Structure 1
C-alpha cells in the first residue's frame, strides 16, 4: 500500500474510533495538505481558497465571468445598512464588535467562558439578544446580509483557527467535529469525506465534487440553486439531506463543531467571501 493510499484510508475511516489515534490539529492539517498535494499535484495550496474552482477549469471560467457582476452585491449593501443602523436601545453591532467589520477571520473560535465553539452567526445573534433584539434565522434571511458585509470587508485575511490543545473541552469539540466529518450516515451511508476526499474531483450530475480544503473560505454563498445567499450551516443541512440523513439544527453543537474542524483544515488560506456557486 503506497503512502497516498494509506493517507486516504486513514482519513476516510472514522479517526480515533478505528485507528485509536488522536492526531493533533497541526498533524491533521499536514495530512490533509499532503493528501491533496498527491491528488492534485498541479494545484498550488493557496488556490484551494477558490473551492471547487481550484480543480474545475471549465467551471472556473464561468465563475470568473459571474464574478465580474457578482449576484451577492445587493446583500453586501443591505448588510452594511444593518451594521450602521442602531438597535432600538441606541446601540448596535459596532458596540459588540468595536474592532469594526473586519472580523470574519476570528471565527470560528473557542469561547472559553461559555465552553462552546463560537461562530460568527452565533456571535451576531448573541449581540442582538444582549441588546433586546430578536435573533435572526440561522440559515436564510437577514443573517446572510450582515454576514456577507463582514465577509466582504474581511477579504484577504487568513483563515487561522486556533484549537487550544491545553483545554480538554476545546479538544473535545475539535475531535467531535472531526468524527462527524468522517462518520457515515443516512440511507446512502456517506460521510462528508466520502464525497470531498474519496470522490473529490468526480462528477455527480452537473457538479464536480469539491475538495475539503477551502470549503469555508467563501461563505456565505450565493447559490444559483437557492436564488439567494445562504450560510455554511444551510449548506451542511443540504448535504445531510442529499445523503438522506436527518439534518442537525443550524448553529447547534454538531454543526458548530464540524465548522471548527473543517475551518481549521483551511488554515493559511485567504478568506474571499461572499462567494458565488451553482
Structure 2
C-alpha cells in the first residue's frame, strides 16, 4: 500500500486532491509523520530516532549532558574570530553575526542555484584569498558547529520563489533524488526513512525523515568525530552500494533544498550527537 508521502512524490493524488506544489508536499509530509507517530510532539522530531525510541533516548540524553561536540563549537568560534591573512574575518562576509544558519539553504536567483551554508563559508574564504575547506569533516564541521549552535531555536524557513521556475526545478530534482532507487541494493532514501521509520535495520531503529536536517553537523559515535550533512548523504549512498555524488555538488545541494524545505517550522538544534 502506498503511503501518503509516497503518493506525494509520485505526483498522484491523495484523497482525491492533486498534489502539485511544494506547499502541498510539505503539508502531506509533516502530517504523515505526525499520524504515524501520534504520541510524538511535532517539535520532538528534531531529535531523530530518539523521538520515537525511549530506550535509546535515555542513553542519548546522558551523552548530551557532556556533549561530544563541545570542542568543535569552541574551535569554530575561534575560526570565526580569527582574521584571514588580509585582516578580514568571516564577519565581513556575514555582517549579521554567527546566528545565520536559519537562512540556509536558499535559492540564489542571480546564479540559478541552491546555496548552502558550507558553500557560503568557502566562498567567503576564497573571496578573502583563503583556500577552501574540505566539506565532509574537520574545520568545516567545526565552524558549522559554532554557527549552528549560535542559531539554535531559529525556525527552519526555506523559501521556494514562486516566480522562478528554476528554483522549483531544483526542488523537484531534490525530491526525485530522495525517492529514486539506486545502488546494488536498489534502495532509496525513502525506503528507510519514509516507509520504515521505527522499524529495525539489522540492530538499528530507522529514524523518521521529519527533522533530519535540523541537527547537523553531528558527532556520530560511528565516526568518532563531527561530520556534515553531505557526508551523511554520501555515507547513505555507500550503504546501498551506490557511487556517492560530489559533496556540495548540485545533486546533494538540491537534495538538501528539498529535504530542508520539508522541515519548515521546526527549530534548529545542531550540532547534535548520534549513534
Q: What band does the TM-score fall into relative to the shorter chain?
A: over 0.9
Deviation at 1:130, TM superposition (A): 0.4
Q: Structure 1 CA distance, aligned partners of 2:111 and 2:26?
A: 26
Q: Per-residue CA shift, 1:191-214, capped at 9, x if unaligned?
A: 100000111111112321111100
Q: Check the 8 A contact 1:15/1:178 in 2, yes or no.
A: no
Q: Structure 1 CA distance, aligned partners of 2:155 and 2:7?
A: 28
Q: Structure 2 CA distance, aligned partners of 1:124 and 1:167?
A: 25
Q: Per-residue CA shift, 1:150-183, capped at 9, x if unaligned?
A: 0100001101111112111100000000000011
Deviation at 1:9, TM superposition (A): 4.2
Q: Structure 1 CA distance, aligned partners of 2:19 and 2:89?
A: 42
Q: Structure 1 CA distance, aligned partners of 2:34 and 2:71?
A: 37
Query: 2:4 matched to 1:7?
Result: yes
Q: Structure 2 CA distance, aligned partners of 1:97 and 1:197?
A: 36
Runs of 4+ in structure 1 off by over 2 angstroms are: none
TM-score (norm 2): 0.95
Report what 1:126 is aligned to.
123
Unaligned runs of 5+ in 2: none
- Would the alpha carbon gap of residues 175 and 162 (structure 1) be closer, same or farther in structure 2, given more than 3 Å must change? same
Map 1:1-278 to 2 at 5 A.
5-11=2-8, 15-16=10-11, 23-278=20-275
Unaligned runs of 5+ in 1: none
Secondary structure of 2:33's match?
helix
Q: Per-residue CA shift, 1:208-244, capped at 9, x if unaligned?
A: 1111100000000000111100000000000000001
The aligned length equals 271
Q: Structure 1 CA distance, aligned partners of 2:10 and 2:243?
A: 22
Deviation at 1:38, TM superposition (A): 2.0
Secondary structure of 2:235's match?
helix
Q: Check the 8 A contact 1:164/1:170 in 2, yes or no.
A: yes
Q: Per-residue CA shift, 1:127-168, capped at 9, x if unaligned?
A: 000000000000011000100000100001101111112111
Moved more, 72-81 or 49-58: 49-58
TM-score (norm 1): 0.94
Q: Check the 8 A contact 1:160/1:268 in 2, yes or no.
A: yes
